[in-house]
Chains A and B, each alone.
Chain A
């Protein structure tokens, strides 16, 4: 019952009226008197009573009129929605079809186009007949959609399409992919089988992309749609000037579907797309569905009306003709609403031929197919129509359905790089008219390499379109010479010989040279001759001495493309040891069978791909600032996405509050190194005094010194514990209090105060330090520290005063000198006198970090230096260790375990000494007690030292292959699928696991995928394979009970899958035909000769007209114009009810 559509609102008053009338019993007898004027003088006039009486007198007539109005509205509704459906489907068909069948008289979508003149954009909108485009806002017009191409501010509308202005410099163009094919816009494009389209984003995306990303170019979102309360909006982030997107055939479709989606005109087509095919019966439309509901409603209403008449019609008036009329009117309207059809002879037939133009069919075969189509269309009956769709990887409407469909040569350009039967059937189906007998003839080899034909077959079945198939096949001599496949065992061990074989297919007798490549090195070249059965084989044997994933590729002649295979060679685990010197772990690991490679921090690879061959990386006491930033990103990527292990061995130098917590590795670490307040360290008062004299306005590498000083203060604020009081004072000739000494100053206010400081004036340090000393003396702290940021060049008098203050101040002074001309000797002397340090940075940009580190050092809370007995937590690393004999250690860097991380070793204060967790696909562990220093002497002497670190390395290192996890890549018609099957340790299928995969493609793109369960112990995900070449998938399965498994799998996505599909797939073609009720046509059959259904015509117009006429008759009868009752004038009784 589709009662809740806008048309159903017309029913509501009627239903309410019916209820009212049905509920309202009329208690008052109606009497006719001859002297009403006398009666009138007895009762005062009551307008309400009078109105009610009037209504009651005319209620039947009102009911009848309302009923007829509702019927007419209901009958008009299918026309409107039917047309709207047709209109919303049009854009999804190729542009030619859109032009050929403009929607009849649907209200056009009003579009306001604000552009500086982009030809393709204008054309794509103006040429669409469903749109009414204005280039300037007209007064009094309301626009459904506003297209804003680099315009300033767009007027408000229900839908807004924004194309931002192109940024500088131009960004390289990348391929556009549909990332959300469930979205109506994405679905329209996905159905086209969009070819390779390059687009460059206009602007680097703002970091917050909120909304549904429908299209991407490379990794960048180019089409983002959002729905909010105000309406819908789409951002098309494409540089229309430099990309090929506007040139592609998909662009008009993109614009049309975008505008329709924005205007909200796609709801019905969306509903159609999502409706399961089984529910849709004869009419695959809402029209019929709504009618089915409608006619029941009408029947009920009609019966109710008759019932009411029977009840309230007086005996005198209940004449038979009126009742008969009313019954017939009701029946006619119900029949009309139910969509009664009458057969009117044989249906004329419309046939769409879908011609395969993919690369797997040679040109001769394609020509022969076209000739045959022309021969078949020559035998059409009159009234029949035919059209032609050409398809390869995408589909195009070559000829809309016409009475003269003869085509001598296909003019459409479709990509021959694939066979997309889904797109072909969709284009053909959309090219068919909505009435009459319809049929699709698919001329193809049936080997689909893209799309999922089954979806379109379901639609065709739902719409009652039979699909005939004709097998098109190339003669053996015409088949191309290609590498059909390369075979090799997927898993081998180091030193194990294995066979790589390439299968060549082509015309018998053909010669060629085959080259087998391993990675990027040609290993074998060999001449082959294709045997009589059309195939030839080349094999060679190889063995590898190093573990890793290797790519083998077979290439014919100098053709760069070809087929390949990936071989995973399992061997000893490899570890990358990053340190400036060799540490105690290296020897330990090497002697235990690990392959350890040592590199200096600066020589660390900066690409995650180069790290991927290692099982784990050890950062041995490397301060964060010694690592190149590209390398830290690579390491983060390696851990998170490639599933690598990371062991961070730290000490006081490397683990400080300013180092790792700031960089990209911060989120990887299982511990939080930021300082915390508490009882573990004495309270410290810190005053930062910095120079704001005129020299601070100088620029250093484009940044003013004062700005660096501001940043330094902010950093210092982060680096000290929140409980410690901190004060900030700036000085020139006199001190300027930025923030008085207080714990946890408001960062916001402090920032504003800092920003308000303008450099200027001369320098006098002493007053500022007097102020600082004053503060610190009064503060209730046990340690007092002053951080002076200055160049130290001051007057002699001031310097003398300064010495005095520093000497008597009772605080520790650290100095960070700025400027190459700083008075080094003087500053060092000042600092040394108090036990503080003086820094003279070469690069002033390090000032903030230096300041923060000094503050952290000064606060001193980051380190615990006392003897304690280590305790071991429950963790795989500590399994089997002697818990009773755990060693005593002398100190560690204080940190906190992050939520989700585990402490492997703990201090007496429950601080982590060795903490570990999983991060992304990888694992990370951090040791905070400086393995080389005396702190860890006790641990080094411990008997469990070697097992501890071996187990840590094993836990961290990713196993190359988990035997319980079997990963494979399956080629389906809609692309590659990654399939993972797993067993638990007990041999049962792996269930309820979270299986994730990170796939790295040949061009370095990473895909993050989550596999969905498709059966017991089986997980699957479609894999985007944009380019041919080697892919490496790192698969991580996490089981609910906590265990996890890992698998590294390489596979090769061969180029030219289309050409490797040779020979017709008769079985598939027959299956398509049988599923849709079509036939596999033999050489002499044609689609026009088969049996045809009877044509039917809906006669609701006639029925409705008849009902209207009869309704008039009915009224006439009631009014006494017709079939008047004979009366003798001397009636025996006064009628108790007046005649209507």
Chain B
């Protein structure tokens, strides 16, 4: 799935697993995930129930304030890759599915390289294949095999697929949804549900050139790729501008959704080169340079 050259680009990258994914929140409840890392991250005021051992007595001595030290979690990140394999992903040159697979493979590689756990699921109108997140080098080959054997087909139903996935998986973890998000019903309910299940969704929208910038001759008859028997639509070139507006609006809504919830969001074009894919992921805040 990845050439050595491509893998080389990934070596210095790591998944930007931001705070929510590995929360070191303390509380009365006995946390299932132990957040005791070694690396100091921050101070905060003492709250009743905090471990007395974490109180920084030197600060108390100087400032007469009870302050606890917060360490960053040192635990494994659970990476859930959700790849859309519906028929709509076959559009574009090279097609969007290929781009999505490559992206998933790259993320998986990065996660495994950082000894995080990674798993993959493919879906169209429901989950088609599912590989539990796991750590270890062997996992990378399982993920690649799963990706390789996934073929496009079926209609897409993002919400339903995400509901199905969320029912079996739970957080904390990073759920990277790679799809074109071309669906009238949208995917917001499904993403909300993943968040409710403790996963932190990250969105990578894959689009094709022709979708961004359709070229229409005089008049064209358009049919839905996933529903070829459905009613076609006859449009002419005058509709292109309106289409662009609609596409921008839909993308904007998706981006607005992510931004308001602090989720990573990126949009890649299927014809873009590999490095540009990775760069987009970094800009989206999905990847980070390992220090």
Contact = CB atoms under 8 A, between A and B. Distances in A.
Interface of A: 27-43, 46, 49-50, 53-54, 57, 1128-1131, 1133-1134, 1138-1139
A39 B241 CA distance: 11
A53 B180 contact: no
By size class, the interface of chain B is 35 or more
Interface stretch (B122-130, B231-239, B273-281): B231-239
Specify which of A32, A33, A34 lies most central, judged by the most chain B CB atoms within 10 Å of its CB: A34
Contacts of A1129: 151-153
B219 interface: yes
A1138 B227 CA distance: 9
Nearest to B95: A1130
B235 A39 contact: yes
B228 A1138 contact: yes
B223 A33 contact: yes
Interface string B210-228: 0100100111111111111
B113 interface: no
A42 B239 contact: yes
B55 interface: no
A48 to B, nearest CB: 10
A29 B221 contact: yes
Given A28-B221, A37-B224, 12 more contacts: A27-B219, A29-B221, A31-B222, A35-B211, A39-B235, A42-B235, A49-B234, A1128-B151, A1130-B95, A1130-B98, A1133-B93, A1138-B228
A32 B247 contact: no
Contact of A32 (B214, B228, B242): B228
A1130 B102 CA distance: 14
B151 A43 contact: no
A36 B224 contact: yes
Interface string B154-186: 000000000000000000000000001011100
Contacts of B224: 32-34, 36-37
Contact of A34 (B88, B230, B232): B88
Given A33-B91, A1134-B225, A1138-B223, A28 B233 contact: no
A802 B227 CA distance: 119
Contacts of B48: none
A50 B221 CA distance: 10
A38 B98 contact: no
B91 A53 contact: no
23 contacts: A28-B219, A28-B220, A29-B217, A30-B221, A33-B91, A33-B214, A34-B90, A34-B180, A34-B211, A34-B225, A35-B88, A35-B247, A39-B235, A39-B243, A41-B246, A42-B235, A42-B239, A43-B235, A43-B242, A53-B232, A1133-B93, A1134-B91, A1134-B225
A158 B218 CA distance: 60
B239 A33 contact: no
Contacts of B8: none
A53 B223 CA distance: 11
B202 interface: no
B97 interface: yes
Contacts of A43: 233-235, 239, 242
Nearest to B214: A33
A1138 B229 contact: yes
Nearest to A54: B231
B39 to A, nearest CB: 45
A40 B91 CA distance: 18
A288 to B, nearest CB: 46
Interface in B83-126: 87-91, 93, 95, 97-98
Nearest to A53: B232
A1134 B87 CA distance: 10
Contacts of A38: 182, 243, 246-247, 250
Contacts of A46: 234
B97 A1130 contact: yes
Given A1129-B152, A1134-B225, A1138-B223, A27 B218 contact: yes
A42 B228 contact: no
Nearest to A26: B221
Contacts of B242: 41-43
Contacts of B229: 1138
Contacts of A1131: 90
Specify which of A38, A40, A57 lies most central, judged by the most chain B CB atoms within 10 Å of its CB: A38
Contacts of B250: 38
Contacts of B226: 34
Contact of A1134 (B90, B214, B227, B243): B90
B234 A28 contact: yes
B246 A53 contact: no
A443 to B, nearest CB: 75
A37 B232 contact: no
Contacts of A39: 222, 233, 235, 239, 243, 246
Contacts of A32: 91, 222-225, 228
B221 A31 contact: yes
Contacts of B151: 1128-1130
A313 to B, nearest CB: 16
Nearest to A1127: B151
A1131 B235 CA distance: 25
A718 B214 CA distance: 102
Nearest to A50: B231
Nearest to B183: A37
A201 to B, nearest CB: 77
Nearest to B85: A1129
A34 B152 CA distance: 13
Nearest to A57: B232
Specify which of A29, A35, A46, A1134 lies most central, judged by the most chain B CB atoms within 10 Å of its CB: A35
B38 to A, nearest CB: 47
Contact of A30 (B95, B152, B223): B223
A994 B120 CA distance: 112
Nearest to A1129: B151
Nearest to B245: A42
A36 B214 CA distance: 12
Contacts of B234: 28, 43, 46, 49, 53
Interface string B256-269: 00000000000000
A142 to B, nearest CB: 47
A1130 B182 contact: no
Contacts of B218: 27-28
Interface string B200-215: 0000000010010010
Contacts of A36: 222-225, 227, 230, 233
Interface in B13-37: none
A745 B219 CA distance: 86
Contacts of A1139: 228
A50 B90 CA distance: 26
- Return the 9 tightest CB-CB contacts between A and B, nearest first: A1129-B151, A34-B88, A1138-B228, A42-B242, A36-B224, A37-B184, A35-B182, A42-B239, A32-B225
B232 A30 contact: yes
Specify which of A37, A39, A46, A1138 lies most central, judged by the most chain B CB atoms within 10 Å of its CB: A39
Contacts of B225: 32-34, 36, 1134
Contacts of A1134: 90-91, 225
A1130 B227 CA distance: 18
Contacts of B87: 34
B243 A42 contact: yes
A1130 B90 contact: yes
Contacts of A31: 220-223
B241 to A, nearest CB: 9
